[in-house]
Chains A and B, each alone.
Chain A
Amino acid sequence: MPENHNDPAIKEAAALLGIPEDKMTPEILSRIAEQYQRINEASAPKSIFAFFDIEVFGYGIFFDKTFPIRGRDLADICRECKKAVLIASTLGSGIDMLLRRSQAEDMSDAVILDACASAEIERVTDLAESDIIKFLSPEEHLTMRFSPGYGDVPLEDSQKIISALSADRRIGLKLTGTDMLVPMKSVTAVIGISERITGRSKDCTSCSRRESCAYKKRGGSCDIQNK
């Protein structure tokens, strides 16, 4: 729960709003903190994960010899892994109603609220990652977190993560017919477990939005890789 303006989650929300640090004003910072508070009040964060044996092919990964998740980019990242974690996290459906309500009330608060919710789900997923690390042996390391929609991993493969984790029943996470996550502020991802330390950062080259990214269009980046 971010309590002060230097909180990384608040900074991330500011980054998502496209506000560079040197252009930040106390007024906006306090508005972000205020909206973040609303997220904290309505949020019911939940994360689940499970470990799987994997086989990596050129075009994707096979989990437990049962189901594949496709994507060359993902396969490249997990090239040396024999195990992987599937993770799913969500802020819960209360946030969806809050976001809708806020848009009906005041769009200027709504854009901030939306960014705060995005920052918060990243934070919640990061926390789950720290839990995952506790299960690893000293020789094991996590690769970067890779979600359907990144690179060439199809969005529809979220369904496989949801099924394998029973995320529907356990944390209320589902997909629309077009493979969007519901509740809206949720994450599904694959993290490889490697015996070598790999680059943990997301960089723009493997991002599905590299062509369309608003930050890139403005000559910057979303700063996610600098965390």
Chain B
Amino acid sequence: MHTKKEVVPVTFRINENETIIFDGAMGTMLQKRGLKRGEIPELLNLTAPEIIRSVHDEYFDAGCDVVSANTFGANRYKAEMAGRPLADLVSSAVEIAKKAASCRKGKYAALDIGPCGRVLQPTGDLPFEEAVEVFSEIVRAGNKAGADLILLETFTDLYELKAALLAAKENSDLPVLATMSFEENGTSFFGATVESMVLTLQALGADALGVNCSLGPKQLVPIVERLLRASSIPVMVQPNAGLPLFENGEARYDVTPEEFADHIKKFTEDGAVIVGGCCGTDPGYIRLVKERLEGVASLRKRPPLRTGVCSPSRSVFFGDDTLIIGERLNPTGKKALQAALRAKDMDHVLKEAICQQEQGAHILDVNMGLPDIDEPEMLKKAVIEIQSVVDLPLQLDSSDPNALEKAARVYNGKPLINSVNGKKESLEKILPIVKKYGAAVLGLTLDDDGIPSSAEGRLRIARNIMEEAQKIGIPKEDVLIDCLVMTVSAQQEQAAETLKAVRMVREELGLKTVLGVSNVSFGLPSRPIINRTMLTMALMQGLDAPIMNPGDKGMRESIAAFRVLMGKDPQASGFIAEYSGTDENQPKTEIVAGVSFGLPQAIKRGLKKEAEKATEALLSRMGPLKIIENEIIPSLDSVGKEYESQTIFLPQLMKSAEAAKASFELLRGIIAKEGAPGSEERAKIVIATVQGDIHDIGKNIVKVIMENYNFRMIDLGKDVPPQRVVEAVKENGAEIVGLSALMTTTVSSMKATIDLLRKECPLVKVIVGGAVLTDSLAEYVGADHYAKDAMEAVRILGPK
């Protein structure tokens, strides 16, 4: 009945026993056909479809199974440059590739998606959600036009790749293959490692992952080895035709088709399932690959999944060694952090994050739960900001599923979600978030009946959590268990049950365990003794990762000793390095022995520790406010004068400002705790680097100086839209706005911000600064004042 022409739709599938061959380069082929450097290749889909078709035909004839449609750079930004609708560029390309594929048997057309050319925040200015949308519109157009699969390739930013992968999943059911481009050291331009890519993409549900472009097949050997060792899903390899040799600006590649095909054969034998070529390869290369792969099959056994989480540049695996999860990014019981969060001030959070990393934390728990703040927004913001300065993987900690979802979505890498528990509602809400956003999850052994008093009861809940996770496709390796420590002063027999449960979960379920130990000692004297002993006992039961204060010396010592005794610290070299010759290891100190300074001298010389000590000494004689007015501000004034007369320069000025800040922070803490009559700050100042501008060091300099003059600085960061400045002014009742812009291109956005302020907040005074600003430009943008530097801003606002 069927006519010959009717096409039976075949779905693209990856079969571990059959190598799939992709095509080679498109750009190289188009250049041979006259495409010039700087021209937009995707335009040819509309202006010369026959050229694109001929490239596909040549590749199919050479023996490839899948061709990539000419959509690599087709995104809204390129479409705008080309002056053509994006959907036209994409669908025409997919249709051309589809036509070439469908007149052959068992051949497929991939929607090819490359990086969008913009950089995501916080390094660049593209918000994560906009990136998802940029890719979503490509996916929708390609899916509609009939693509068989999606190839995400040549990404160097793992974060951007996550956005693209989410877009692919949210807008189609097509298989998704994802590859990144690495440098020879196995790191991408944006610092992503092979292992982090594997952890992230596997958890996000890619169908295959791998490496393309970047290098020739020879240089890719160690990278492919790492991929095959790490990945439990099919691996794809598309090398360049060697390294480019530039002759007169034209690239030529140094690997012949024969050498190329030999390498590909080896990759296939080692376990790569999907192969093809990138820059510099042509149908000649693919033809030889096809020939060489005849009868070749992979013998790879996929490595078992491991329990791991990562940031783009750092992966940590549970089980190898004890991991410390830093607990201090949590406002519970911390007044200073609470105040900072209410003021939306992230400085405190960032400092604490950096400090915990320096103290040896491997993962940081992030909890932003305070009753009177918007926790989902705050957790999301904290994750973005912490990841911009610290490369440790994060543990997202909230009881609000909405907060966890928001944070997991924007997380760069694979996070650990803290937590799910055995309650039906929790399982139903949390596990889908874990699955969709490619996370690992920490399960608490409690359910609707509370925390079972027996280890067996907790094991039962742990098993239930594991099985529920597996039901929706979360592998058991991504489930960790917290057996919950109880307060020993209230329930003495419970400590032993918790310890027993840790062992049972490990032995009977094979799951990794996490434990917050410090609660155990509530209500007892000398709590550190109990804490560190409980920790040691738990480690002996096989605990993988304590949640603790990495600054707790005693607990760190216990871990160090445990590692020696259990043979996890070969030759005890870590222990010896840390604990021998403590005299030599003393941190270098700022203080000359025996000499101590008054606060003014400490500030003038820029000595932080001395400034703190001098402040403490002064507190016995005068109140915090007096210290600010009589000691700090006059000292800064005198330093400022030296700066203006060019006796000292910016580095010394800032060093004094940092010393003053150390003193100030100590005083603020006291004021926050005890309150001080008449201690209100001077004016509130909203400060921001304007929209589109990502250079904010100037603004940060001004902020540090002004804070020391007791202004309350509300820092909105960089790349701030006008509307947010207006909102912050209204929210805080600020009297002054400080705006900075570095480039001519962002002066217009400074003007837009001031225009909106004039309309919405007519009473506010605006001071502008930044490299590009001048008095006349300040007048043009409508500012009240132009300050050439921080000291001038202080002068403009006048003495108190």
Contact = CB atoms under 8 A, between A and B. Distances in A.
Interface string A138-180: 0000000000010000011000100111101101101111111
A178 to B, nearest CB: 3
B249 A182 contact: no
Contact of B651 (A17, A20, A93, A182): A17
Given A28-B651, A64-B38, A174-B124, A214 B788 contact: yes
Nearest to A217: B788
Contacts of B354: 101, 104-105
Contacts of A50: 37, 246, 249
B119 A182 contact: yes
Contacts of A204: none
B648 to A, nearest CB: 8
A172 B39 contact: no
A156 to B, nearest CB: 8
B123 interface: yes
Contacts of B773: 212
B431 to A, nearest CB: 33
Nearest to A19: B649
Contacts of B154: 169
Interface stretch (B45-53, B513-521, B673-681, B689-697): B689-697
A106 B36 CA distance: 48
A163 B38 CA distance: 5
Interface in B271-315: none
B347 interface: yes
A136 interface: no
A88 interface: no
B650 interface: yes
Interface string A55-71: 00000000110110000
Given A18-B649, A28-B652, A211 B774 contact: yes
A174 B119 contact: yes
Contacts of B657: 107-108
Contacts of A178: 125, 692-693, 743, 745-746, 749
Interface in A165-201: 165-166, 168-169, 171-172, 174-180, 182-184
Q: Max chain A CB contacts within 10 Å: which of B115, B606, B744?
A: B744
Given A110-B697, A164-B37, A211-B774, A101 B692 contact: no
B558 interface: no
Contacts of B54: none
B38 A63 contact: yes
A51 B250 CA distance: 9
B475 interface: no
B658 interface: yes
A5 interface: no
- Residue from the set A23, A67, A177 with the largest chain B CB neighbour count within 10 Å: A177
Contacts of B653: 108
Interface stretch (B198-206, B385-393, B609-617): B385-393
A14 B594 CA distance: 33
A94 interface: yes
B267 to A, nearest CB: 22
Interface in B375-402: 388-391
Nearest to B187: A44
Given A51-B249, A66-B39, A169 B388 contact: no
A96 interface: yes
A64 B36 contact: yes
B181 interface: yes
Contact of B649 (A23, A49, A99, A163): A23
B579 interface: no
Contacts of B742: 180
B388 A100 contact: yes
Interface in B687-714: 692-697, 700-701, 704
B123 A183 contact: yes
A66 B183 CA distance: 31
Given A17-B651, A108-B657, A172 B38 contact: no
A104 B191 contact: no
B581 interface: no
B351 A104 contact: yes
A103 interface: yes
A164 B658 CA distance: 45
Contacts of B776: 211
Contacts of B124: 174, 176, 182
A221 interface: no
A174 B116 CA distance: 10
B388 A97 contact: yes
Given A99-B697, A149-B743, 13 more contacts: A23-B649, A51-B248, A67-B38, A103-B700, A104-B347, A105-B351, A107-B658, A108-B655, A108-B658, A169-B181, A172-B189, A180-B742, A218-B646
The 10 closest A-B pairs by CB, nearest first: A172-B189, A50-B249, A178-B692, A108-B654, A108-B655, A104-B350, A164-B38, A101-B389, A176-B125, A182-B119
8 contacts: A94-B191, A99-B697, A107-B700, A108-B658, A112-B651, A155-B745, A163-B38, A172-B188
